[in-house]
Structure 1
Amino acid sequence: MSSKKIYVVDDDPMYLEMMKDHLSKIENFETKTFPTGESCLDCLDEKPDVVILDYHLNEKVDTAMNGLEVLKKIKVQDYNIPVIMLSSQESYAVAAKTISKGAIHYVIKGDNSFVEVSDLLQKILAERAAH
């Protein structure tokens, strides 16, 4: 089985490192991290299998795109890339908005989010391999 390219986009370097460390324990995942949506968009031509994208990306750099803006641009460039949105917001409205813009799932950051993301990744990739 060839390795699957997973992009993780978050402006929190510690969270990025923790997610990358967690995903590195899963066989056949090649994880690439990005501190901004713009840096992720610059590498979309490398065809990631899944993008994990934080909703709040402009907390450190005011001019940076937020997660919803990045999601829209990903979907314009390649609609078929599955995007999992991450947020610390426990808001149905935010989750619904991200799903309506093309995200396939919304994960609330917390104690269980790393396990939830890795389970989702395996499910998404298995479904895509079956088609």
Structure 2
Amino acid sequence: MNDITKKLILFIVDDDDTSRFILKKYIDRRKIFDIQSYDSGEACMSNIHLNPEVVILDYNLTQSGSRMNGRDVVLSIKKSAKILPRIVMLSGQDDGKIVLELINEGVRDYVIKGDNAFSELDEILDNYLAEKQS
């Protein structure tokens, strides 16, 4: 595959199996991403060497027994990744103070889980792809 047709690596990090499955199916319909999904921050970080271009990350990762929350993962990515991926926080957490802290730490987009989440993700991914092509 050349650079134009090569699939872009995208990580999904969510401790909820159903959410992770649905999100993977939804994004996979685009056929341009090599989607890797993980149930914990630790699993994500053990694969960060794959250099994902986009990371979609839940804030609360406690169901999987993860000791890392979304903020911890963001900070670890910033320290470990060769190239900082586009980080999208997809979470039910809507505390404005936490959102602002995450944006300041390197989260590019913050999407609240709910009725509009998929349309917001579509817009974010479309914008990312447009930026990448320009």
Figure out how many residues of one structure are paired with residues of the other and give that number.
129
Unaligned runs of 5+ in 1: none
Partner of 2:127: 123
The whole-number CA distance in structure 1 between the counterparts of 2:125 and 2:112 is: 15
State whether structure 2 residue 103 is matched by structure 1 residue 99. yes
Displacement over 3 Å in runs of 4+: none
Deviation at 1:60, TM superposition (A): 4.1
Q: TM-score, normalised by structure 1?
A: 0.91
Deviation at 1:37, TM superposition (A): 0.6
Q: Which amino acid aligns with 1:71?
A: V
Q: Which amino acid aligns with 2:9?
A: K
* Same amino acid, percent of matched pairs: 33
The whole-number CA distance in structure 1 between the counterparts of 2:64 and 2:36 is: 20
Give yes or no for contact 2:9–2:54 (8 Å, CA) kept in 1.
yes
The whole-number CA distance in structure 2 between the counterparts of 1:23 and 1:60 is: 22
Go from structure 1 to structure 2 and tell me whether the alpha carbon gap of 1:129 and 1:80 turns closer, same or farther (over 3 Å shift): farther
State whether structure 2 residue 34 is matched by structure 1 residue 12. no
Name the stretch that deviates more: 73-82 or 29-38: 73-82
16, 21, 28: which is aligned to 2:25? Answer: 21
Deviation at 1:129, TM superposition (A): 3.0
Aligned-residue CA RMSD (Å): 1.4
Q: TM-score, normalised by structure 2?
A: 0.89
Go from structure 1 to structure 2 and tell me whether the alpha carbon gap of 1:18 and 1:93 turns closer, same or farther (over 3 Å shift): same
The whole-number CA distance in structure 2 between the counterparts of 1:94 and 1:86 is: 13
Cα shift readout 1:37-96 (whole Å, capped 9, x = no counterpart): 1101111111111000111112441x5211100110001112521110111022211210
Superposed, 1:74-93 pairs within 5 Å as 74-78=77-81, 80-93=84-97
Give yes or no for contact 2:93–2:112 (8 Å, CA) kept in 1.
yes
What is the SS of the residue equivalent to 1:55? coil
What is the SS of the residue equivalent to 2:111? strand
What is the SS of the residue equivalent to 1:97? helix
Partner of 1:66: 69
The whole-number CA distance in structure 1 between the counterparts of 2:97 and 2:84 is: 24
